[in-house]
Structure 1
Amino acid sequence: MTKTPRRPVHGVLLLDKPLGWTSQDALSKARGLLRALKAGHTGTLDPLATGLLPLCFGAATKFSQVSLDADKRYTATLKLGERSSTLDGEGTITPGTPPAFDRATLEAACAALTGPIEQLPPMHSALKKDGRALYDYARAGIEVERTPRRITIHRLDIVEWQADRLVIDVTCSKGTYIRTLAADLGDRLGCGAWLQALRRTATGPLRVDDAITIDALAALSEPEREARLLPPDVLLQHWPALRLPDDEAGRFLTGLRRRVAEADQSHVRVYGPQPRAFLGSAHIQAGELIADRLLSPQEVQALL
């Protein structure tokens, strides 16, 4: 078999992941369509979930952690009056209690789960205990002790509610398990609930409305596929920007600290004098610009 030749490709592809695919499935397919040398995703999206999966190629992989750490937004569909052993449709479904609450009770339950809360990770998850994924213990019928984690539900809005079906819009911090949120909401309502469907609609400033499906990507020519790539700095677009003159830009790219007349900042995106001359990320401390992640001169030139 002839191996497909790979090439340097730089940028971020906003993919609308299909149902049933793992994040790695989606990455492998997109990487093959672009013939990209280097690629990575920005955190997994469960096979049972659809929606926004930012994929990073080349220079953009250096900043994938920013998207991984960003807040996420989801549309979640809950089945009320039942419980699931896995908190979703893959588990054993058992009867709960028929839903018998009013709108005020529902709104109060949502409000109680909004803000900083403690959340117990589900047994059916990839978190590790003694070097072994929790889902391995769960499949063996073993339940192990887990430590609740502090997360933040920034918003929890009711989109639709009909008898035993509830649709919510959730904006949350990284590390939030929407399956667990669904079960916790069902417990507060006294009827039980499990996660029937999940769609990620945003990651930080990135939106699923701007994403493309795998099928649509495959239907494009190779130049058209490459044109779908956003520049790497799209991952940092919510950070302050700093532009350097040409001589300072060259020194910054070598990793040297530079004096700047700017206030302290924990995160900045740094540019050279030319349009789109993204150089990397940095922070400002005591008047010094200190590089964090740098592009190589070849990557800067490729983006120009």
Structure 2
Amino acid sequence: MFFFKKRNVHGLLLLDKPKGVSSNYILQKVKRIFHAKKAGYTGTLDPLATGMLPICFGETTKFSHYLTDSQKKYHVVAKLGEKTTTSDSCGALLEKRSVSFSLIQLHASINELTGLIDQIPSMYSAIKYHGKPLYKYARQGLTINRKMRKIFIYKIDLINYANNVIELYVHCSKGTYIRTLIEDLGEKLGCGAHITFLRRLQVASYIHSQLVNMIDLYKSFNRNDIYNIDIFKKLDQFLMPIDSPVSFLPKIFFSIQQTLCFQLGQKVCFICDIKNSLVRVIDTETRKFLGLGKINSENFVIPHRLVSTMQG
């Protein structure tokens, strides 16, 4: 693989992150497999966690914040009666407490954590303080004051509760820390709790069935065919289009002349029913995504975020 120069790769990969590795570790692995010049993930998953890790390649990184800001869904299993340093099973045991609450109290506590709530991010999070992630300070035994933030929990479904183990589905807003949510639930129940299993099932409108795992990627890369540049074609088939993160926005189609003006950063006259909204701009002839534009009330499309014309 090292015989090739790094490639200009563009698109979105919905990776099924495996357990036991960091998000950045798996990103570097994927970049090497695709031999990509530029790629980044959105929404860090802890080493314990598995599931949907969106990886944006090339020009798609320009639109990655739409995924960061989106809603998420998780499947989580937690052990009650035990509190750990990291709020998950990777940490050291801090204390044990008896578990004694009724189902009525359990449902009441879950309801209290639903809707608009305040949450203090965990010290074992990727939030940066003076350019360094909080978890690095935590590993040094340091505690940094964190600002409380507003998050929204749309729904918590109780799947199962038995033998001091609770299983939940959580639908939440951006910025939610599931380990903190579980820790808060444990405190409301008076027994403490920590995560033993966590899987991200959904980001924005992307669903679990769209995931690609590392085995799929390795199978599509034949090292015996290392001298054939076409080996990357199978890999690139796993990628979703550049405009995938903004697929919820309407499309408009430009003529050759309109495309040229738009790519030069000029506003373009375009009459349609859409007003004061972002749109995906598509070249009618090539069907290529040109970037995002904003249609104002005067029927002009103003360039908002352009895709590079040098994608090859």
Does the TM-score normalized on the shorter chain lie above 0.5? yes
Residue 250 of structure 1 pairs with residue 264 of structure 2: no
Task: Output the aligned Cα RMSD.
Answer: 2.1
CA contact (8 A) 2:276 2:297 kept: no
Displacement, 1:184? 0.5
Equivalent position to 1:229, from 222, 239, 243: 239
- 1:74 aligned partner: 74
For structure 2, which runs of at least 5 residues remain unmatched after alignment? 222-230
Displacement, 1:45? 1.5
CA contact (8 A) 1:81 1:193 kept: yes
| Cα displacement string for residues 145-193 of structure 1 (whole angstroms, at most 9, x for unaligned residues) | 2210111112211122223111111121211110000000111122211
Helix, strand or coil at the partner of 1:219: helix
Equivalent position to 1:292, from 274, 296, 304: 304
CA contact (8 A) 2:276 2:296 kept: yes
Residue 102 of structure 1 pairs with residue 140 of structure 2: no
- 1:59 aligned partner: 59
Helix, strand or coil at the partner of 1:201: strand
Q: What is the alpha-carbon distance in structure 2 between the residues aligned to residue 14 and residue 2 of structure 1? A: 25
- 1:12 aligned partner: 12
Displacement, 1:104? 2.6
- 2:294 aligned partner: 283
Alignment of 1:68-217 (within 5 A): 68-217=68-217
For structure 1, which runs of at least 5 residues remain unmatched after alignment? none
Q: Aligned pair in 2 of structure 1 residues 190, 15: CA closer, same or farther (>3 Å)?
A: same
Q: What is the alpha-carbon distance in structure 1 between the residues aligned to residue 11 and residue 131 of structure 2? A: 34
* Counterpart residue identity of residue 215, structure 2: D
CA contact (8 A) 1:205 1:237 kept: no
TM-score (norm 1): 0.90
TM-score (norm 2): 0.88
Helix, strand or coil at the partner of 1:116: strand
Equivalent position to 2:269, from 259, 263, 279: 259
Helix, strand or coil at the partner of 1:232: coil
| Cα displacement string for residues 200-222 of structure 1 (whole angstroms, at most 9, x for unaligned residues) | 11111112321111122101143
Give me the identity figure in percent: 38
Displacement, 1:295? 1.3
Q: What is the alpha-carbon distance in structure 1 between the residues aligned to residue 161 and residue 235 of structure 2? A: 39
Number of residue pairs aligned between Structure 1 and Structure 2? 300
* Counterpart residue identity of residue 148, structure 2: P
CA contact (8 A) 1:265 1:285 kept: yes
Q: What is the alpha-carbon distance in structure 1 between the residues aligned to residue 8 and residue 137 of structure 2? A: 41
Displacement, 1:130? 4.5
Displacement, 1:275? 6.8
Q: What is the alpha-carbon distance in structure 1 between the residues aligned to residue 56 and residue 310 of structure 2? A: 17
Displacement, 1:198? 0.9
* Counterpart residue identity of residue 34, structure 2: L
Helix, strand or coil at the partner of 1:25: helix
